Every structure is written in C-alpha cells, then in structure tokens.
Homo-oligomer: A and B are copies of this chain.
Amino acid sequence: MIIALKPGVSREDIIKLTSDLENLGVKVDSSQGASQIVLGLVGDTTVINDEALRANHLVERVIRVQEPYKRANRAFHPMDTVLEFKSGDKTAKVGGGSFAVIAGPCSVESREQLVSVAEAVKKSGAAFLRGGAFKPRTSPYSFQGMGCEGIDLLVEAKKATGLPIVTELMEISQLELFEDVDMIQVGARNMQNFNLLKELGRSKKPILLKRGMASTMTELLMAAEYVMAGGNSRIVLCERGIRGFDNFTRNILDLAIVPALKKKTHLPVIVDPSHATGLSWMVPAMSKAAIASGADGIIVEVHNDPEHALCDGEQSLTPEKFENLMGVLRKYAEIEGKTI
C-alpha cells in the first residue's frame, strides 16, 4: 500500500503516522519525492482501514498495490477451479477444457414448452438446461415468472432429459425450493445483494454469478469472495453485458473481461450473449466471439416460439438456429482445444 502525503506535512506528523501504522503490524518505508513524501507499507495491509486513512488530513492519496480478493485470486490459487455435474450418464463440466453450453427458455411457461425446448437443446448438444421460474422484471406489471411451479417443471425436465438445471434465485427465502436445482443463478441486479451472497456461501450448491450492470471486474471478484468467504468455492462467473451509452444492443458485451478474469482468478468464466445483445440474430456471432475470447461456456436463450414468448422473445434463438450455432461452435472448440 502506497500513501502519498500532502505537501508540507511536518516531520512530527510523519513520525506519528508512521508509528500508528507500524503499531498495526506493517513496516513503513518513507521516500522523499520531488514535492511530497511517499510512504510504502509492507506486510499484511488488509488490517489497514484505508477509508479512514483517506480521511486523514495528512494524506493526499492512498493506492493499494495488492488485489483485495484472496480466495478468488489466482496468485494464491493457481489451479483452475473445475465444476462437475451429473448430466444423464455423463459428466458435464464447467472449466477444465470444457466448453459448457447452458441453454433453455428465458422463463418457464408450461410443461410442453419446457420439455420441448429441453429435448431440443439436449439433442443439439447443450450440457445444461436453463429456465427462469422467478423473474426479475423492470415493471411490476410484467409477467413475474411461474415461481415454485416453474421450479417443479424444471425438475421434471431434468428427470426427462438428464440435463442438470440452472435457474435464478431472487431472495434468500426461496432457497429451500432450490434443493433439486443443480446450479443457482445470481442475477446481475443481485450481484451486490451481500446478504444473499453470504447465505449462498453457507450453501453447498454451485453458483452462477452474473456481473452487475455497472460493476467493475474487481467488484465481481469481491462478490465471488463473499460467497467463498462463507466456504463455497463452486462459482462460475458470467459476463452478461454492461450498461452503455448507445442502444443498438441492450447492453455492451465486454468480452475482454474473459481473458482478464482468466488471468486474475481460477474460477471458470462464461458469457451470456442473449442478455448482452438482446437480439437473437446477434447471438451466434457473439457466441463464437465468446469461445474465441477464451470463455469456458455460454448461457443462451432458446425458445420454441420466440414470437409468443412471455419474456425476452426478441433475444431467443429457435431450436433450429441453436442447432446451427452448435455446429459452428464445435469447429471453434476444436481449434481452441476444448470439448463441447
């Protein structure tokens, strides 16, 4: 940690501050710069309350050199985290050289719809089934999802197809309904719902953690750290587009976060091209770009009848288009040395 002091700080003040800091157990090196003193703190600087330090009248600037996340940090845990799931009589993996395709409708609408889509995506090679039962909608007047009944239908579809299921949890009290869910999704709007993250840290379920709409990479990793601090390290990170100033897409797909995350953390990273773009005709191009950028998978919306979907029809692929996409993705996976 680097502390740049204000110009003109007195010798006594510096000695006092240095001593206060050293009493916290860190070593302090001092350099006389051109116009100001710079202190370098060595040791376990996590004990330092840097907000208070920034409020100190002697201090101009505080710079942390080390990353604030530990359990999620590849520097301390160099080996890739790999998640394994039972998918019928096979094992579906996220991470570890697998390219995991999670597909299904935006929201569960009926048994017929879900089973039809589930069978279609399985046939095309998806390893997981997605579907929303509890839906975070901007308007209170929009369809809010089927709730518990939606979860039941997902579990039925899992029994029918063998595909592990991924669905979104919106609040802690729903957790008991998620017993048969294989991976719990935390949506972008809940990425910093810290109480929810803590609770999921106590759970044993794999977590699909979506990046918040305006969250930095560090904030995403700190959200993962919340879950990991509770003892649950089975986390998949997901880039799903960030808010931008233009509107030709719903969000801006920030694909460079994929290699950045792969460098900074050992957790697997997937991409959601459906929510990122909001436009089904862009999904194939962005899915290919996701695998090209190094992602460990995608989560993609597929609907048997997008024009009558209760939610997000505009961004859903038909099963036929999904089948075509999978064909191309297999070629890409081959170049990248990944298995689908």
Contact = CB atoms under 8 A, between A and B. Distances in A.
A55 B242 CA distance: 22
Which of A35, A173, A216 lies at the interface centre, i.e. has the most chain B CB atoms within 10 A of its CB? A216
A139 B253 CA distance: 25
A55 B306 contact: yes
Contacts of A35: 66, 75
Interface string A73-90: 001000000000000000
A7 B75 contact: yes
Contacts of A314: 51, 54-55
A2 interface: yes
Nearest to A134: B195
A222 B189 contact: no
Give the most central of A7, A244, A281, A308: most B CB within 10 Å. A244
A40 B40 contact: yes
Nearest to A246: B216
Interface residues of A, number: 105
Interface stretch (A92-100, A117-125, A157-165, A287-295): A287-295
A190 B189 CA distance: 8
A203 interface: no
A146 interface: no
Contacts of A248: 216-217, 256-257, 260
Given A255-B286, A292-B285, A136 B52 contact: no
Contacts of A52: 306-310, 313
Contacts of A277: 256
Contact of A313 (B51, B75, B243, B307): B51
Nearest to A40: B31
Given A170-B195, A292-B292, A55 B307 contact: yes
Contact of A65 (B33, B306, B335): B33
A258 interface: yes
Nearest to A71: B140
Contact of A286 (B65, B225, B256): B256
A176 to B, nearest CB: 14
A36 B170 CA distance: 38
Interface in A165-179: 170-173
Interface in A21-77: 29, 31-36, 38, 40, 42-46, 49, 51-52, 54-57, 61, 63, 65-66, 68, 75
Given A55-B306, A248-B257, A256-B277, 11 more contacts: A32-B42, A34-B45, A51-B314, A140-B225, A213-B213, A216-B246, A248-B256, A253-B254, A255-B289, A258-B285, A285-B294
Closest 10 CB pairs of A and B: A55-B313, A214-B214, A288-B292, A289-B289, A54-B314, A292-B292, A189-B192, A171-B195, A31-B40, A214-B243
5 contacts: A32-B42, A54-B313, A140-B198, A170-B195, A328-B335
